[in-house]
A and B are shown apart, each in its own frame.
Chain A
Amino acid sequence: QQQVKQSPQSLIVQKGGISIINCAYENTAFDYFPWYQQFPGKGPALLIAIRPDVSEKKEGRFTISFNKSAKQFSLHIMDSQPGDSATYFCAASRDDYKLSFGAGTTVTVRA
């Protein structure tokens, strides 16, 4: 039983475009929502994270939008660059260490 559902499985975007990845969760006890970026052959690296007391968090070209009532959150990558090509994982935890990951989205940015 997957606690965090992520979509799409993959996406292709032109350089300069916007990449949008969506995640949905069921467990209302989750209160920490990080996004990880993973390059081939590497481990996931923390990209940005949000707590449910805010609806949006922006760091550079990366923005998390959070909708508590819909139990959904999304990652927006603005002005996508070829170097952003990677697999992105959303995750959630209940104020503890046990991260529940989505299945991942492979983003390809075409030059």
Chain B
Amino acid sequence: NAGVMQNPRHLVRRRGQEARLRCSPMKGHSHVYWYRQLPEEGLKFMVYLQKENIIDESGMPKERFSAEFPKEGPSILRIQQVVRGDSAAYFCASSPAVSIYEQFFGPGTRLTVL
């Protein structure tokens, strides 16, 4: 039973470029969450999605960041016009419909903005 998958594992972008981070939830999981981890800090909630719906994006920066979870395919976290401050580890988690508290995390994507 494959766990939560994220790709790429490492991503390097220059300032002003776009970053696309992908997350495939565990089989049978229909809830996806994105978190950001800055160096020396804990994870910070960004957004919670179900298939084709954004449930809560209260942790997302107001500009440049967007997320989607289409009917088919992985969830995507998109960062437009990246800046150095976007450099962080981005983690995706998923949970089954009946137990939203039990979030299983993927290995993360480490974004470096040059």
Q: How far is the CA of A6 from the CA of B41 in the complex (A)?
A: 11
Minimal Cβ-Cβ distance residue in A for B44: A101
Q: How many of chain A's residues touch chain B, expressed as a range?
A: 20 to 34
Checking A42, A44, A46, A97 against B43 with a beta-carbon cut-off of 8 angstroms, the contacting residue is: A44
B56 contacts A99, C-beta separation under 8 Å: no
Contact of B95 (CB < 8 Å), options: A32, A43, A91, A97: A97
Question: A35-52 toward B: CB 8 Å interface, digit per residue (1/0)?
Answer: 010000111111001000
B31 contacts the other chain (CB 8 A)? yes
When C-beta atoms are compared, the residue in chain B nearest to A4 turns out to be B42
Closest partner residue, chain A, to B40 (CB atom): A103
Given contacts A43-B91, A103-B42, contact A97 B107 (CB under 8 A): no
- Contact indicator A97/B42 (Cβ below 8 Å): no
A102 and B102 contact, Cβ closer than 8 Å, known pairs A41-B107, A43-B4, A97-B33: no
Determine the chain A residues whose CB is within 8 A of the CB of B48 once the complex forms: 97-98
Nearest to B10 among chain A residues (CB) is: A41
Most chain B beta carbons < 10 A, residue from A36, A41, A44, A100: A44
Minimum distance in angstroms from B18 CB to a CB of chain A: 24
User: How distant is the Cα of A41 from the Cα of B95 in the complex, in angstroms?
Assistant: 21
A63 to chain B, nearest CB (A): 20
A101 to B45: give the CA distance in the assembly, Å: 9
Closest A residue, CB atoms, query B108: A43
Asked if B25 is an interface residue, CB under 8 A from chain A, the answer is no
Q: How far is the CB of B11 from chain A (nearest CB, A)?
A: 15
- Contact indicator A103/B41 (Cβ below 8 Å): yes
Given A97-B31, A97-B33, also A45-B42 (CB < 8 A): no
Given contacts A42-B107, A44-B91, A104-B41, 14 further A-B contacts (CB under 8 A): A2-B42, A6-B42, A34-B101, A36-B105, A43-B105, A43-B107, A44-B105, A97-B31, A97-B33, A97-B103, A98-B48, A99-B103, A101-B43, A103-B40
- 3 shortest interchain CB distances as A-B pairs: A101-B42, A43-B105, A101-B43
